[in-house]
Amino acid sequence: MASAKFWIWLSAVGDPVAAWKIYEHFGDVEKAYFADPEEYKLIPGLRAHQIAPFLNKEQGSKLVSKIVADCRALGVHICTWESADYPERLRYIDVPPLVLYLLGRPLRIEEECVVAMAGTRRCSPYGQAMSWRFAEQLTREGALVLTGVAGGCDEAAVVGALQAGGPVAVLLPGGVDVPFENTDFYRALYQNIASFGTLISTYPPGTPNDHAHFRFRNAVLTGLSTVVLLVEAGLRSGALNVAANANDQGRTVYTIPANLDSWSAMGTNGLLCNGQALAVMSAEDMLLTYRDSFPRLSLPKSAYPYVQEEEKAPAVPPTAAAKEDEPDTLPPETETSQAAIPEKKVDTADISDYIDLKAAQNDFTDDEQSILLALQDGSRTSEELTAQTEIPSARMLAALTLLTLRGSVRECGSGRFEAAVKGKG
């Protein structure tokens, strides 16, 4: 078995396609490292500029030493093509990654029903709500949600899975230590993912989130999956590349029906029309097929539980039906939502933003309630909130992350946060 350093060298010094072609040609990573430069010219499909990085052994050796040191310092697990925990599913895609960098909980992909979720970054409130809802349902029912973190549908899926208690796996277009955006919010989100799930990258620590990495990232995303859920995508959305990869790799693609007039869902509605995706109305719809293969899944016996509930429910008045047709907001209403709370008079003209935190205590954790109360008098930094509420910093960042994604708190610049809702304890 070759040393991990040779695999790191081959995967890190050049682009993934070139690295795979070199490995295929030589059949041995050490042989590729010590091969004569003239032998590289015999590799079909590679140009001089693709080969050049692999021939500079001195620079490559320094890079490998840095990567190994960085991974050791960060606690990043290096999984190579020859590692026992390398996901078998990835071995069968067109261009498999030769190395995976993992931060967080160990991954046991073969034991999991992995649902790859993707969608546009410029999603509608409906798309955001559906990502949140499905990720929460899938996680509660024993599936592993795998997604990106590049805003929009991806972010909503991450917070939905975290709200359900995780775990969640996130595949990144850069290093596991490089937040997609350099903000407190993203740093806290990465910390939460690593605590309750796994950050995954095909690129070593320190690698910037380059837009050119997305296409390869998407192929690996679907390669790791059991099934794919494309939540919402416009006609020109990069998320459609995920569906194309999934179909090429033999994965079943599901999508959520949306309003025909919604520009942000024209791509996903088109997949339904073209037969490239199946319509789905609940997490159970997707998972029933895989119940016998993955014992961890916990599903109802009925294939269509929502049909039974509809039959048992009383007739809906026209006015109520009209309200149900309105787009959801993030997060979706729960049994303890504001709709179920008796109206209460407060000293404000803007009654719609008022939340009785005691009555809605099942909607917010104790930490979240404390933060919202602390922010009623004005904006605070996370450090100021920690001092005021005595909530440990790690829990503070976790709660702020979820409150921000749910729209209850917003960043207002210079690392400060403010309440987006009014409330009393």
238-259 per-position pLDDT tens digit = 788 999 999 999 999 999 998 8
Residue pair 157/145 in contact by the 8 Å Cβ criterion: yes
Q: What Cα–Cα distance (Å) separates residue 90 from each residue in 97, 142, 146, 214, 221?
A: 8, 22, 14, 17, 9
Residue pair 283/142 in contact by the 8 Å Cβ criterion: no
pLDDT at 183 over 90: no
Label residue 46 left, alpha or beta by phi (over 0 means left) and psi (-120 to 50 means alpha). beta
Highest mean pLDDT among 66-70, 269-273, 322-326: 66-70
The CA angle 406-409-414, to the nearest 5 degrees, is 130
pLDDT digits (tens, 9 = 90+) for 394-420: 677 777 777 876 778 887 766 788 888
Long-range contacts of 360-368 (CB under 8 A, 24+ apart): 360/336, 361/336, 362/334, 362/335, 362/336, 363/334, 363/336, 363/337, 364/408, 365/399, 367/391, 367/395, 367/396, 367/398, 367/399, 368/399, 368/402, 368/403, 368/408
Predicted TM-score (pTM) of this structure: 0.76
As a whole number, mean pLDDT of residues 180-205 equals 89
- From first CA to last CA, the distance across the chain in angstroms is 61
Instruction: Categorize the per-residue pLDDT at 112 as very low, low, confident or very high, splitting at 50, 70 and 90.
Output: very high
Token pair for 325: 């047709």
Residue (of 280, 290, 226) closest to 254 by Cα position:
280
CA 296 to chain centre: 21
The CA angle 74-91-290, to the nearest 5 degrees, is 95
Residue (of 374, 332, 337) closest to 359 by Cα position:
337
